[in-house]
């Protein structure tokens, strides 16, 4: 028989445990603590890279499913199509930034990637050809990590792909959107890509179900970033990583060329999508997750104070400024082992301004002629 005394003891103990659990759950960051405990129990699972525990918890090793692919397979004409959903996809990926990583190590771990950062699945014919366009200057450290995670992720998705770094030459103010226009033109000049991913260098995908394939409308892929609490910051947000077909890109006249410095250009691009009669598609919050490598605002990329005024005029400017007016000078083209580097002189604000104004006048004159 249990005495009344010890009965109460059990009741108090039970209530006490409940209180501790409730306190844990109600405090900010409880997910982290819970995932820590869960990880202890699931340790063997996680190291195999087959962790399906869902977003928010730990992820698997991005290289886990790739070791059986080998150079022994030869790209022949008679390869079957790859399956519609790749069997190599496994879900959440563990992302961390070990200090000793080198490009040589990334190269060693990606033996099937060829000159210029190209890849084709060795044992099936890819259903999709995707070019990754990355605007870049002085972020070699971030690039190394992106390549470490992106190469195996794209291979897991059985894509044919190529990675292009569009490197802005000189020290003049950075211009992210104009570099994207350069990337589009140069990549399409080289190959008939059916999808282009415009990708910040510091965003690391955390789930390989976020496929690097285009939709019927422009797709915003980086929907849940850690820096925004894994939520979309606002409905029209189109920054970080986005995917467009060549047709989408041309329909909206590409990206603006005249946003110098930080901010505004991604919203301008989002507005262009709807002005061109399209809409933004997105993966689920669970899948479109990215970690941003922490950094400060770069030298040469000060916040652009004109961005709000410019944004207010997108409706008037999008046809006058974009892919049709992107002027630049390619300085060098290098096929490196893990990517193609295109160094480009994109000029300065004044030059571009004159071009846009001239273009505007030309159009006016042409219109006046055609009205005659
Ligand atoms: N980029 C470069 N070099 C530069 C500037 C930008 O490569 O000097 C590229 C790079 O691909 C980067 C992208 O442009 O990922 C976007 O620039 P960003 O990373 O500076 O933009 P973000 O919105 O900046 O991440 C936030 C400013 C951080 C301030 C943090 C203060 N707490
Ligand atoms: Mn950033």
Q: Is 7 exposed, middle or buried (0-12, 13-18, 19+ CB in 10 A)?
A: exposed
pLDDT in tens, 184-230: 999 999 999 999 999 999 999 999 999 999 999 999 999 999 999 99
Q: Whole-angstrom distance between the N-terminal and C-terminal Cα of the chain?
A: 107
Cα(183)–Cα(166) distance, rounded to whole angstroms? 6
Cα separation, 109 vs 100, whole angstroms: 15
Dist. CA 321–CA 133, nearest whole Å:
20
User: Pocket of ligand 1, candidates 134, 135, 142: which has the most ligand atoms within 8 Å of its Cβ, to mutate?
Assistant: 135
Cβ distance 323 to 181 under 8 Å?
yes
Report pLDDT for 366: 66
Q: Which of 115, 111, 102, 211 is nearest to 148 (CA)?
A: 102
Secondary structure (DSSP) of 321-372: SSGGG---EEEEEEE-SS-EEEEEE---HHHHHHHHHHHHHHHHHHHHHHH-
Please identify which residue in the block is written with the tokens 């960051």: 29
Whether 301 is in the pocket of ligand 1, judged by its Cβ within 6 Å, is yes
Of residues 145, 151, 92, the one with CA closest to residue 287: 92
What's the whole-model pTM score?
A: 0.82
Ligand 1 site-directed mutation target among 132, 144, 176, most atoms within 8 Å of CB: 176
Question: What does the alpha-carbon distance between residue 142 and residue 77 come to, in Å, rounded to a whole number?
Answer: 37
Q: Is 151 in the pocket of ligand 1 (CB under 6 A)?
A: no
Lowest mean pLDDT across 204-213, 235-244, 351-360: 351-360
Which three-class secondary structure state does DSSP give residue 36?
helix
Mean pLDDT of 119-146: 98
Domain residue limits, the chain: 2-44, 50-371
> Are 133 and 195 contacting, i.e. CB atoms less than 8 angstroms apart?
no
Q: Is the pLDDT of residue 161 over 60?
A: yes
CB 183 within 8 A of CB 133: yes
Asked if residue 92 has its Cβ within 6 Å of ligand 1, the reply is no
Going by the DSSP 8-state scheme, the letter that residue 241 receives in this structure is E
Question: Quick one: pLDDT band at residue 25, thresholds 50, 70, 90?
Answer: low
DSSP at 261: S
Q: Which two tokens stand for residue 123?
A: 């044992």
Banded pLDDT at 263 (limits 50, 70, 90): very high
> Is-contact 122 70, C-beta < 8 A?
yes
What are the tens digits of pLDDT across the range 33-56?
Answer: 555 444 444 433 333 333 333 444
Are 328 and 170 in contact by the 8 Å Cβ rule? The answer is: no
pLDDT at 212 (0 to 100): 98
Q: Which architecture characterizes domain 50-371 according to CATH?
A: Alpha-Beta Complex (3.90)
CA distance 172 to 261: 10
Average model confidence (pLDDT) for the chain?
87
Q: Is the CB of 39 under 6 A from ligand 1?
A: no
Nearest atom of ligand 1 to the alpha carbon of 298? 8
Q: How far apart are CA 300 and CA 34, in angstroms?
A: 42
Report the C-alpha gap between 340 and 352 in whole angstroms: 26
Q: Output the CA 1–ligand 1 centroid distance in Å.
A: 69
Question: How many Å lie between the centroid of ligand 2 and the Cα of residue 201?
Answer: 8
Q: Which has the higher per-residue pLDDT, 70 or 270?
A: 270
Average pLDDT for 176-184: 98
């Amino acid at each position: 028989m249990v005495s009344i005394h010890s009965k109460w003891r059990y009741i108090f103990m039970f209530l006490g445990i409940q209180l501790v659990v409730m306190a844990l759950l109600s405090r900010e960051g409880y997910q982290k603590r819970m995932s820590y405990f869960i990880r202890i129990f699931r340790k063997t699972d996680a190291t195999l890279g087959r962790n399906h525990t869902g977003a928010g918890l730990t992820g698997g090793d991005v290289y886990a499913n790739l070791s059986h692919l080998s150079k022994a397979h030869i790209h022949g004409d008679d390869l079957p199509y790859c399956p519609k959903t790749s069997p190599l996809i496994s879900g959440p990926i563990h992302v961390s930034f070990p200090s000793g990583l080198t490009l040589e190590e990334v190269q060693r771990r990606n033996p099937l990637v060829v000159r210029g950062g190209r890849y084709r699945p060795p044992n099936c014919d890819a259903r999709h050809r995707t070019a990754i366009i990355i605007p870049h200057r002085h972020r070699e450290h971030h690039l190394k990590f992106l390549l470490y995670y992106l190469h195996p992720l794209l291979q897991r998705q059985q894509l044919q792909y190529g990675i292009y770094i569009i490197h802005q030459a000189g020290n003049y103010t950075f211009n992210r959107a104009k570099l994207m226009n350069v990337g589009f033109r140069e990549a399409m000049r080289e190959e008939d890509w059916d999808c282009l991913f415009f990708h910040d260098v510091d965003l690391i995908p955390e789930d390989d179900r976020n496929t690097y394939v285009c939709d019927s409308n422009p797709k915003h892929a980086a929907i849940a970033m850690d820096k925004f609490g894994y939520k979309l910051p606002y409905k029209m947000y189109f920054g970080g990583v986005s995917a467009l077909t060549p047709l989408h890109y041309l329909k909206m006249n590409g990206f603006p060329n005249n946003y110098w410095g930080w901010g505004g250009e991604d919203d301008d691009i989002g507005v262009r999508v709807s002005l061109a009669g399209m809409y933004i598609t997105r993966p689920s919050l669970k899948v479109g997750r990215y970690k941003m490598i922490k950094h400060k605002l770069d030298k040469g990329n000060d916040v652009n104070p004109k961005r709000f005024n410019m944004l207010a005029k997108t409706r008037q400017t999008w046809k006058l400024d974009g892919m049709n007016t992107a002027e630049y000078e390619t300085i060098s083209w290098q096929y490196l082992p893990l990517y193609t580097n295109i160094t480009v002189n994109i000029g300065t604000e004044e030059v571009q301004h004159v071009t846009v104004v001239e273009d505007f006048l030309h159009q006016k004159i042409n219109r006046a002629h055609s009205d005659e």
